[in-house]
């Protein structure tokens, strides 16, 4: 009986703890992150992802609207996770004053993403985005579907696509579910 109580107590405590989707300070590896630029449709934008001198992930490059381009993204695919006990994504980031999208896919094969836009300040920020604020979008068009359910997750991504020529840099310490 005592072991059942301890197991229940541990389980209850675990539900309140944040879950790290990715922590660059401990993982120190970007091999599972892959860049997708507008080159898939003829554009000339270029992004890259690497670990910087402070041990954080750095997504940087430039976006250009030449050749009908205009976006760069970096994606992280993982085994499908049940995220139903969480309510929001928390990003610990340092941006360049530009706006970015954070994207979620429930399934890797899903064609559309759930999107939330956030603005960076040039300083370190902790940005909390409730699951309910992620809306479905495909190729820049909002879909007539419900917002993200917060049940499962198999891919996350950062995207910049501000419809202008610009360099960008987004430093990422970690991505947490709460």
Percentage of the chain surpassing pLDDT 90? 82
Per-residue pLDDT at 9 exceeds 60: no
CA 55 to chain centre: 18
Average confidence score pLDDT of the chain: 91
pLDDT digit string (tens) for 157-171? 999 998 899 999 999
Residues 65 and 70: their CA atoms lie apart, in Å, by 4
Average the pLDDT over 83-101 and give the result: 98
Q: In whole angstroms, how far apart are CA 103 and each of 3, 46, 136? A: 41, 19, 9
pLDDT of residue 41: 84
pLDDT of residue 13: 43
CATH superfamily membership of 19-177: Galactose-binding lectin (2.60.120.430)
pLDDT of residue 106: 97
Domain boundaries, the chain: 19-177
How many CB atoms lie under 10 A from the CB of residue 107?
A: 11
Per-residue pLDDT at 72 exceeds 70: yes
pLDDT digit string (tens) for 96-136? 999 999 999 999 999 999 999 999 999 999 999 999 999 99
CA 132 to chain centre: 15
| 18 DSSP 8-state letter | -
Query: What residues contact 108, with CB distance under 8 A and at least 6 apart?
Result: 77, 154, 155
Query: What residues contact 158, with CB distance under 8 A and at least 6 apart?
Result: 59, 73, 74, 100, 101, 102, 103, 170, 172
């Amino acid at each position: 009986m005592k072991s059942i109580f301890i197991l229940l107590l541990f389980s209850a405590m675990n539900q309140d703890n944040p879950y790290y989707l990715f922590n660059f300070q401990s993982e120190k590896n970007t091999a599972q992150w892959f860049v997708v630029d507008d080159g898939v449709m003829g554009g000339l934008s270029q992004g890259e992802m690497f670990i910087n001198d402070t041990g954080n992930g750095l997504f940087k490059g430039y976006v250009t609207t030449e050749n009908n381009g205009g976006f760069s993204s970096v994606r992280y695919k993982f085994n499908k996770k049940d995220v139903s006990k969480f309510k929001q994504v928390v990003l610990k980031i340092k941006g360049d004053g530009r706006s970015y999208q954070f994207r979620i896919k429930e399934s890797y094969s899903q064609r559309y993403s759930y999107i939330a836009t956030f603005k960076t300040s040039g300083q370190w920020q902790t940005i909390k985005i409730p699951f309910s604020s992620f809306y479905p979008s495909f190729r820049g068009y909002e879909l007539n579907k419900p917002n993200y359910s917060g049940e499962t997750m198999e891919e996350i991504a950062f995207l910049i696509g501000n419809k202008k020529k610009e360099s960008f840099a987004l430093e990422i310490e970690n991505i947490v579910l709460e």
